[in-house]
Chain A
Amino acid sequence: MNSLAFTDGLLFLIAAAAAAIPRLPLAFRIGSTLLAVTAGLGVLRFSELLPLPTLHSFFSTFSASSAFLLIAVSTTWTGSVGATQAKYVSILLIVSGAVGFVMVDLFELALFGQILAVLCVLQIIVYAVRHRLLSPLLGAATLELGFILFATGQRVSNLLQPGDFLHVLTATGLALLMWYHWHSSRTRSLV
């Protein structure tokens, strides 16, 4: 068992919690579900309990193309049909996933998913700055930091690998965004 299993476990817990809260926007919950499944498979893979590396790779590509897009839509277009209605969330999920697989597997643009994820999170940062929203700004910045540390291959001796940074910072960023959605939905329900 290595550190990746533990940090993926942390991401799994946070993402599963976000997926399970009915009050959060549907697109946010579906995006979190995708991350939770990927992280869960990561735990199984890195702990060697039940390694399913190809399935984990599939969901990693799927998450990169779709999960962050759904999270960005739910944060920046709160209340839109793409954030709240099952039919339109499903269309977004399927179309973005399909485009992702065509780009990565047919055109062999391996970085497509990562670039899309970075752009989606950047969209949240722009939105948060414009609307002066602290927790989504911190959340999105944390997610971006995770992507950067992972892409540049940062590690702390043998303790933390690049993937650990990605997992921990994605979990932290997701938790901050969850906090934001939780509070905005509470405010909306009080109004």
Chain B
Amino acid sequence: MVDNFSLKPMILVIPVLLILVFIELSFAYLKGKKVYNFQDSITSINIGLLSQFVNSTGAVFGALMYALIEARYGTLAWSTSSPFTWVFTLLLYDFLYYWVHRTGHMVNIFWAAHITHHSSEEFNLSTAMRQASTGFYFKWVFYLPLAVLGIPVQVYVVVGLIDLLYQFWVHTRLIGRLGFLEWFLVTPSNHRVHHGQNDYCIDKNFGGIFCLWDRLFGTYADERADEPIVYGIRKPLKNWSPVWSNLHYYKSLWIKAKGARSWREGLMFLVAEPDWTPADIKSTSTKSPAVSTYQKHRSLAPTSIRLSGIATTLVSLGLLILYLGTRDQMPLFQQVIFVAVAIVMFAGIGKIWSLEKFQSPQNE
């Protein structure tokens, strides 16, 4: 198996991201700021690793559809050596990303996928790794205009990776406002707003690299100095399982749709905005939380249990690197086994960490 190992960009990227997480953690420690929570961060990293297991196949489907459409309908010829091609693609990709992201917040069935990324109550570089495992089935559709324009698939993939990696560094509380850059770039400050659950933060700042799209379409909000941000979602996950964090909202949607009084109402639960309720039923929307009273989910698991989390993460990382490096030569059956083992491991550690006896909510 190791003879067939080929070095993929993601194999190099993941360790670099983990090192950056460690650097941020060290800086925060030196500055005396508590921006990390052990279980939350390990869970975020594990969610990221799980998403790589699942999305490496899902992304292939998206890239395949893109390549098919580009080959059949691509209208113009673009030179991959021209800087114009790359700049134009980056701008258009980011514009389309804005709509993918906005749809992920506005349409319940898509929010079921994207909520995973928002389920952390912390905001740090590990939160950036908390990526959904289930979003691949719809995202590719939004990028088809690039394919129809004839942008080569390799340019699309590389630009997509650039757009994704740019968004890593903006998940931090250690960097303040960045002056004039706030006008056109997504920065840590305006992205903190996006992750907040305060009223003024809801459905704001969807940009990937540029916040111009938010300014253009009226979804931009500046960070407020007078109102500290409470991170996370209004109905907290209260669970450390990477698998459950990906599935919990689908279950709640399923229950709502099953209990609907008509097929139209059931359909509306799937496609309406996340807090939608039928007109004759009282809304259950929760109020804007305050930092002073908000209780984050905490766990008092013993050291041995905590160490098991680190061990799971390291083993999963090793498996993932092996998987990404050899997947192209693997039969489908073996790929499925790999992913299934990863899912069972993540589900197992999540289950243990989320045991009732280890839970102890504290007021922060």
Contacts and interface: CB of A to CB of B under 8 A. Distances in A.
Q: Do A and B assemble together?
A: yes
Contacts of A55: 73, 75, 148
A106 interface: yes
Contact of B141 (A81, A94, A105): A94
Given A94-B141, A105-B72, A106-B64, 15 more contacts: A54-B75, A55-B73, A55-B75, A55-B148, A58-B69, A58-B73, A58-B75, A58-B148, A87-B107, A91-B271, A94-B142, A98-B138, A101-B69, A105-B68, A106-B65
Nearest to A54: B73
Contacts of B73: 54-55, 57-58
B211 interface: no
A97 interface: yes
A55 B141 CA distance: 17
Given A88-B271, A91-B107, A54 B72 contact: yes
Contact of A52 (B75, B138, B144): B75
A160 interface: no
A102 interface: yes
A54 B68 CA distance: 13
Q: Which of the four size classes fits the interface of chain B?
A: 10 to 19
B144 A101 contact: yes
Main secondary structure of the interface of B (DSSP, over half): helix
Interface of A: 52, 54-55, 57-58, 80-81, 87-88, 91, 94, 97-98, 101-102, 105-106
A105 B107 contact: no
A78 B339 CA distance: 46
A55 B72 CA distance: 9
A88 B72 CA distance: 29
A57 B72 CA distance: 9
B106 A87 contact: yes
A106 B68 contact: yes
Contacts, number: 38
Interface string B41-74: 0000000000000000000000011001100111
30 contacts: A52-B75, A54-B72, A54-B73, A54-B74, A54-B75, A55-B73, A55-B75, A55-B148, A57-B73, A58-B69, A58-B72, A58-B73, A58-B75, A58-B148, A80-B264, A87-B106, A91-B271, A94-B141, A94-B142, A97-B141, A98-B138, A98-B141, A101-B65, A101-B69, A101-B144, A102-B65, A105-B65, A105-B72, A106-B65, A106-B68
A157 to B, nearest CB: 33
Nearest to A101: B69
Nearest to B141: A98
A118 to B, nearest CB: 23
Interface in B306-334: none
A105 B68 CA distance: 7
Contacts of A81: 268
Contacts of A102: 65
Interface in B55-101: 64-65, 68-69, 72-75
A105 B73 CA distance: 10
A80 B142 CA distance: 25
A88 B106 CA distance: 11
Interface string B126-146: 000000000000100110100
Contacts of B64: 106
A81 B106 CA distance: 15
Contacts of B141: 94, 97-98
A105 B148 CA distance: 13
Interface string B212-248: 0000000000000000000000000000000000000
A81 B64 CA distance: 33
B33 to A, nearest CB: 40
Contacts of A80: 264
